[in-house]
Amino acid sequence: MVATHESAQLAKRFIQETCSKQGIVPGQLTIHADRGSSMKSKPVAFLLADLGITKTHSRPYTSDDNPYSESQFKTLKYRPDFPECFGAIQDARSFCQDFFPWYNQEHRHTGISLLTPEMVHFGNAPEVLQARERVLIRAYQDHPERFVNKVPTPKPLPTAAWINPPKLVTTDG
């Protein structure tokens, strides 16, 4: 959603429409948000409770708690065609209508094993990684001299994503 302003009602509408489109059932989703007034508002809190959605908020004064959003914003801002400013909201909407399908359906992300967010979101990652593994094995069988000492394997999906990993706590004894 690209809007002229931020508000509790827009946040509520966005979340409600997304849950409906994605078929999200109660207890399935956790939303991580900044500590902005819209995401902390009563309308959004009540909606999340009604939808059975757990919410978490960024740590105070920590603007980079969400690795997925941070990755998305950085990719958006560093695109060669990202303008210095948009002439009107329609220009921003038009840009985003092209950017987000590309980002989610075509752009291969190094942090998720060179898969697209869509592949991971819809559960296709294991199938894609298995197909990739078959291709790598075949390439090794056909030309082992191209690989250093071992059969190549695809990078597995990460089990967690962090920008600010928690400090490891060790105990003596």
Domains annotated for the chain, with CATH where assigned, are: 1-65 (3.30.420.10)
* Strand, coil or helix: 74: helix
Q: How confident is the chain (173 residues) per 10-residue block, as mean pLDDT?
A: 90 90 89 77 85 79 70 90 95 96 94 93 95 96 90 88 68 58
pLDDT of residue 63: 63
Q: How far apart are CA 36 and CA 55, in angstroms?
A: 13
Stated as kind and residue range, the H or E segment containing 54 is strand 54-57
pLDDT of residue 36: 74
pLDDT of residue 91: 96
Predicted TM-score (pTM) above 0.85: no
